[in-house]
């Protein structure tokens, strides 16, 4: 009982820390806060299985993609695992993610690394009056992270991630560090797991670069002082902090299995919302999934998610999985994800 109480106190402490860190002093109930954060690509979910389940993934465990959702889930991994994902994202952008996790022999630690990138194809550069300059530009964001998961006791794990964040558009860029923390608890109720995490805790980002320097004529209609060197100043914006609390319930019925999951989210870049997810499996080989994202979010545009997957045991330890996910984004269109992973 005392051990259970300590676990609850630690989880409660994480919740309190996350809530205090993301609180805003001038919060107005009818303001969604959308468009007020930097590095918004960090809010894009990874892994087709997770997204097919509506992003209700905080209490899941045992795969390398937990570095994004809740790094403590790494601690339940028993073998080396590699995962890659590709997303045909909105507005002709592409979103890619790769991760690898390695348990340290003889310890309770699992180490992991991840790389995330979002990019747009080249676009023509236009001047102030809209005319083409003959130049081309592109934009790309990426984050590289190192994670650790620690199995403190067989039922309880802690995890943390540090990541380097880089945003670039043409010659301007912003860089910074972000931190993620999480806990996972396997409850005494068979199949029920709890998890909570805070993501993207760190400083503000501010764009800077050579294209912010210019020479202008403040009064082109009159002679006088011309060719004044100027430097445009950009604002700094915070990282998109997200606090998540989730439950996952796994059951097996003969050849069939099920996973039901729910996540409660408190982001700084939007309003509170809920994710729901369901997975049904047959013979641990074929899976169908569905979910609903951002339920109760103000000005919500996405929602339904669908997906399927297959899993093949290469031998008694090695396992290969392929997953697909579809998500609907209203007037913005739809997103398609594919993921492949292998446990060695």
CATH of the domain at 297: 2.40.160.60
Q: For residue 34, tell me if it sits in a domain.
A: no
Extract the tokens encoding 207.
């764009």
* Closest alpha carbon to 114 in 334, 294, 341, 277: 341
Q: For residue 277, tell me if it sits in a domain.
A: yes
β-bridge partners, 158: 150, 183
Q: For residue 27, tell me if it sits in a domain.
A: no
CA distance 148 to 154: 16
* Closest alpha carbon to 40 in 91, 112, 113, 77: 91
Q: For residue 130, tell me if it sits in a domain.
A: no
Does the model's pTM come out above 0.95?
no
CA distance 43 to 294: 12
pLDDT in tens, the chain (344 residues): 555 555 555 554 555 444 444 444 344 456 667 778 999 999 999 999 999 999 999 999 989 999 999 999 999 999 999 999 999 998 889 999 999 999 999 999 999 999 999 998 888 888 777 788 888 888 999 999 999 999 999 999 999 999 999 999 988 999 999 999 999 999 999 999 999 999 999 999 999 998 888 888 777 777 767 788 888 889 999 999 999 999 999 999 999 999 999 999 999 988 899 999 999 999 999 999 999 999 998 888 888 999 999 999 888 788 999 999 999 998 888 999 999 999 98
Q: For residue 202, tell me if it sits in a domain.
A: yes
CA distance 152 to 185: 10
Show Cβ contacts of residue 48 under 8 Å, excluding neighbours closer than 6 positions: 85, 307, 309, 323, 324, 325, 337, 338, 339
Q: For residue 178, tell me if it sits in a domain.
A: yes
Q: For residue 46, tell me if it sits in a domain.
A: no
CA contacts within 13 A on the Cβ side of 319: 16
The DSSP 8-state label assigned to residue 18 in this structure reads H
β-bridge partners, 101: 81, 112
CA distance 157 to 180: 14
CA distance 240 to 230: 31
Give the range of the structural domain holding residue 335, as residue numbers without chain letter. Answer: 2-20+64-123+135-343
The torsion angles phi and psi of 271, rounded to 5 degrees, stand at -95, 165
Q: For residue 54, tell me if it sits in a domain.
A: no
Strands 172-186 and 208-209: antiparallel
Evaluate the CA torsion angle 313, 314, 319, 325 in order and state its sign: negative
Structurally, how many domains does the chain consist of? 1
The torsion angles phi and psi of 257, rounded to 5 degrees, stand at -140, 160
Extract the tokens encoding 222.
């009159």
């Amino acid at each position: 009982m005392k051990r259970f109480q300590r676990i609850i106190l630690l989880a409660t402490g994480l919740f309190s820390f996350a809530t205090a860190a993301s609180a805003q002093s001038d919060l107005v109930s009818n303001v969604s806060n959308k468009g007020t954060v930097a590095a918004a690509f960090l809010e894009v979910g990874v892994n087709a299985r997770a997204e097919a389940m509506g992003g209700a993934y905080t209490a899941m465990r045992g795969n390398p993609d937990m570095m994004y959702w809740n790094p403590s889930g790494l601690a339940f991994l028993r073998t080396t695992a590699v995962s890659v994902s590709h997303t045909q994202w909105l507005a002709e952008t592409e979103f890619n993610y790769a991760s690898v996790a390695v348990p340290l022999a003889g310890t309770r630690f699992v180490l992991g690394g991840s790389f995330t990138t979002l990019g747009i194809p080249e676009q023509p550069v236009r001047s102030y009056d809209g005319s083409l300059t003959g130049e081309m530009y592109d934009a790309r964001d990426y984050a590289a992270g190192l994670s650790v998961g620690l199995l403190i006791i067989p039922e309880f794990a802690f995890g943390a991630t540090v990541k380097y964040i880089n945003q670039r558009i043409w010659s301007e860029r912003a860089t910074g560090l972000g931190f993620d923390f999480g806990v996972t608890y396997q409850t005494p109720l068979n199949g029920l797991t709890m998890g909570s995490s805070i993501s993207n805790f760190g400083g503000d980002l501010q764009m800077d670069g050579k294209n912010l320097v210019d020479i202008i004529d403040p009064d082109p209609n009159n002679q006088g002082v011309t060719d004044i060197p100027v430097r445009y100043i950009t604002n700094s914006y915070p990282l998109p902090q997200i606090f998540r609390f989730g439950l996952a319930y796994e059951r097996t019925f003969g050849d069939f299995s099920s996973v039901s999951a729910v996540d409660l989210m408190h982001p700084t870049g939007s309003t509170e919302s809920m994710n729901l997810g369901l997975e049904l499996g047959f013979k641990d080989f074929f899976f169908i999934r569905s979910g609903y994202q951002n339920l109760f979010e103000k000005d919500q545009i996405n929602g339904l998610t669908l997906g399927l997957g297959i899993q093949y045991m290469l031998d008694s330890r090695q396992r290969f999985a392929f997953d697909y996910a579809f998500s609907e984004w209203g007037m913005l269109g739809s997103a398609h994800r594919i993921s492949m992973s292998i446990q060695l």
